[in-house]
């Protein structure tokens, strides 16, 4: 069941923080493209920024985690006043696990939230974290590899009834 997310939400700002708290989640690991921003946009959507502010005010740690490079993520993380973890090689979980443990948490204390099964959900499952799959913000403009992955994800969603 490595492709089946634990939770589904249409958009980031529809993720239930009360449910996350109930599950014991302390750290939200957020994807960037099509989760916080449209693809390749340097500005978080206002609703995403409000979600991050609300999550931080509720006591959650919030970090942007992405395969993108620092120069792409830093403007977003500065805008949201949170840290970013670039070049994380999702769906591999080794670097994420090292980060989580370095701040004194366990994977079960984390939720990985993003729009892709083959990167975000799979990495979260490998990590041992709670996973939340979102609908992408915008499918009209995406990275070529992501477009290819979306075709595979459609098959996975159909087979697993996700």
Alpha carbon distance, N-terminus to C-terminus of the chain: 11
Q: What is the mean pLDDT of the chain?
A: 91
Tell me if 1 is assigned to some domain.
no
Range of the domain at 114: 7-160
Tell me if 2 is assigned to some domain.
no
Residues 6 or more apart in contact with residue 139 via CB below 8 angstroms: 34, 150
- Cα torsion angle, 90, 94, 97, 101, sign: negative
Q: Give me the CATH number covering residue 106.
A: 3.40.50.1000
User: Whole-model pTM?
Assistant: 0.89
Q: Output the pLDDT for position 126.
A: 96
- pLDDT bin (cut points 50, 70, 90) of residue 14 is very high
C-alpha 129/C-alpha 125 separation (Å) is 6
Residue 19 near residue 11 (C-beta atoms within 8 A): no
């Amino acid at each position: 069941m490595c492709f089946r997310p634990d939770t589904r939400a249409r958009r980031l700002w529809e993720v239930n923080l009360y449910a996350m708290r109930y599950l014991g989640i302390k750290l939200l690991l957020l994807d960037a493209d099509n989760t916080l921003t449209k693809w390749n946009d340097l500005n978080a959507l206002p609703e995403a920024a409000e979600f991050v502010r609300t999550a931080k005010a509720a006591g959650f740690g919030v970090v942007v985690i992405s395969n993108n490079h620092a120069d792409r993520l830093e403007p977003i993380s500065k805008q949201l006043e949170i840290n970013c973890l670039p070049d994380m090689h999702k769906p591999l979980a080794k670097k994420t696990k090292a980060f989580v443990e370095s701040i004194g948490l366990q994977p079960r204390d984390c939720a990985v939230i993003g729009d892709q099964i083959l990167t975000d959900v799979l990495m979260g499952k490998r990590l041992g974290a709670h996973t939340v799959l979102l609908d992408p913000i915008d499918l009209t403009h995406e990275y070529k590899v992501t477009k290819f992955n979306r075709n595979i994800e459609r098959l996975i969603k159909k087979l697993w009834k996700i």
